Amino acid sequence: MRTSRLAKFKLSRLFVLMILIFSLSYTMILSSTGSRSVQTDSGKKLSSLINIYITSDSGFIDYGFPGNGSSQNPYLIQDLSFNNVSPNGYSIFIKNTAKYFAISNNTIVANNDGIYLENIISGTAIIEANIFKNLVYYKNTGLQIRYSDEIIIENNTFEKFDSAIYLRYSDGSLIQNNNFTSCNYCVGGSYLAEIKFKSNTLYACDQGISISRCPNSIISNNIITMQGYLGTSTNDVAVSVSRGDYSEISSNYIYERIKEGILCSESQYCFIYNNTIIRTEVGIKIEYYSHYATVLENFCSRSIVYNLHIENSDYVTTSKNNFSESSCDGIFVNFVSKALISGNDIISSGINGIYLRKSSEIYIGQNYITKSTFNGVYSTNSSDSVISYNYFFENTEYGVYLDQYSYFNRIHHNEFVYNNLDGFSQALDDGEHNKWFDSNLEEGNFWTDFSGKNGYEIDGSANSIDIYAFKSANTTTNDVTFLNNTLWISLLLLVFFIRRKNRFNVRLELGLIS
């Protein structure tokens, strides 16, 4: 009996000892490495990795990554965790390779830069489904790519980086379905061409997508908001394109920014289409020689200053947009020549619906401008413009206001309905040589308060009269000027799409190659 008890006691001690040994071994394994163990095809384990450092194709073999580097069987760098500070500043560093490889399903949680790629042969790299998390707010770079074309970056998560993704001299890459949270700069790049940013979510970030010298780029279907941002920077622009000719910015949802929702600078033939922009300082800004830009079918509301600001850029087309509830002007046009503003709804502007300043040959036609706190259209130091076929409704002051420096403008075939109800006229003219009718057609404007006798008197020092004022609303007369301007809208869009279809050699144009 005693022998049996002694045997049981020894057996139980042995069992406890085995559990302690197993637990200690498991703890040592977990604490000894910065990455999980991965079983490769050759049976080699990728454990105890602080970082990955590859400078040629042979590096993939040296690490024992599965795959053979072909397009059908790329090398796989996957299912690893990096939790330490890398000696060279990167968790994964790859340079000068021609083999195909994929970096996927890795977790990088560290106080250093994440992944660096340089001089990778075009179209050989995919970076997908990784988690990038910086331990300190607004420091380091998550993913940096240089001199590497056609990289696919998709379904990744970036958090707390100073710069989440940065590209330079890397054409044709696709950045899609990524999530960015609490970053200073989500995506930045320069000297790129034909980059595509699609269906990304940028939350609580300062600068959203900012690219320079990046022609033929596409930025579409992204969600960008600053809500929850904890930093102090005021560089906040959702989408910024500089020197990016023929770029397309479309179908993005942009909410609550300190500065611009969309900024297009020194970029010709930009196409800004079908974006929703709410609560920004300026909804859309086109500046510094961004000629031939097209702003089409956007919804922009509650901007702190302007819903649309066009400056020093000619031949800009603004059509079929909905601009509402700006604190200042709905559209501000400054130092612009030969622009078209047509078919827009401009509603409840804090000051003026459209403000023209030091501009000429602006065509304003077929817009619905209502409930401006001051004027529907306000013109200062602007000349040779046409304002026709618009509907001015219940603007607090004048439907159209021309100051003393506004000359040779033509205003006809508009409907002025219940503007300046506390005054004697629905328009004011302090300028010179402005005509309030079409001389060729001998037709003027419709005024709800027109008595039907002796023409309609316009307020102001010019003593202007609409001598062909309509007694009833009539905007059906064909206007040659309007038809001609509508035609050149179509021509501009045609040129844009032709150029997008037939891609020119961007590197040659930029002088990057001879």
d(CA 484, CA 477): 15
In this predicted model, what pLDDT tens digit does every residue of 171-210 receive, in sequence order?
A: 999 999 999 998 888 999 999 999 999 999 999 887 899 9
> Are 166 and 141 spatial neighbours (Cβ–Cβ below 8 Å)?
yes
**Tell me, what's the pLDDT at 90?**
86
Are 115 and 92 a contacting pair, CB within 8 Å?
A: yes
Inter-residue contact 416 to 374 (CB < 8 Å): no
Mean pLDDT throughout 111-115?
83
User: φ and ψ at 20, to 5 degrees?
Assistant: -65, -40
Residue 234 confidence (pLDDT): 58
CA-atom Rg of the chain in angstroms: 31
Contact 338/346 with Cβ under 8 angstroms? no
Residue 498 clears pLDDT 80, i.e. is over it: no
Higher pLDDT pick, 10 / 217: 217
223: helix, coil or strand?
strand
Note whether 470 and 451 are within 8 A (CB).
Answer: no
pLDDT of residue 409: 98
Residue 78, beta-bridge partner list: 104
Structure tokens at 71: 């397009």
Burial class of residue 249, CB neighbours in 10 A (0-12, 13-18, 19+): buried
Q: Can you give the pTM of this predicted structure?
A: 0.84
Tokens of 304: 């702190």
**For residue 364, how many C-alpha atoms fall within 13 Å in the half-sphere facing its CB?**
35
310-346 tens-digit pLDDT: 999 999 999 999 999 999 999 999 999 999 999 999 9
Domain ranges of the chain: 50-183
**Dist CA 62 CA 97 (whole Å):** 14
Residue type at 172?
G
Rounded-to-integer distance, Cα 396 and Cα 372, Å: 6
502, 506, 509, 513 alpha-carbon torsion, rounded to 10°: -130
Cα gap 54→32, rounded to integer Å: 23
Residue type, 261: G
How high is the mean pLDDT of the chain? 84
One-character DSSP codes across 375-412: -SEEEES-BS-EEES-EEES-SS-SEEE-TT-BS-EEE
**How far is the C-alpha of 311 from the C-alpha of 265, rounded, in Å?**
10
At 385, the amino acid letter reads S
Percent of the chain with pLDDT over 70: 79
pLDDT bucket at 44, cuts 50 / 70 / 90 = very low
pLDDT of residue 258: 66
pLDDT score of 140: 82
**Token pair of 368 as six digits:** 């619905």
Q: State the pLDDT at residue 16.
A: 40
pLDDT tens for each residue of 49-87? 678 999 999 999 999 999 999 999 999 999 999 876 554
End-to-end CA, the chain: 97
User: How many C-beta atoms surround the C-beta of residue 150 within 10 A?
Assistant: 16
How many Å apart are CA 379 and CA 362, to the nearest integer?
11
Distance CA 365, CA 346 (A): 12
Q: Are 153 and 132 in contact (CB under 8 A)?
A: no
Distance CA 405, CA 102 (A): 64
pLDDT grade, residue 35 (50/70/90)? Answer: very low
Alpha-carbon distance values, 268 to 240, 245, 336 (Å): 14, 5, 14
**pLDDT tens figures, 477-494:** 444 444 455 554 555 444
Kindly tell me if the per-residue pLDDT of 214 is higher than 70: yes
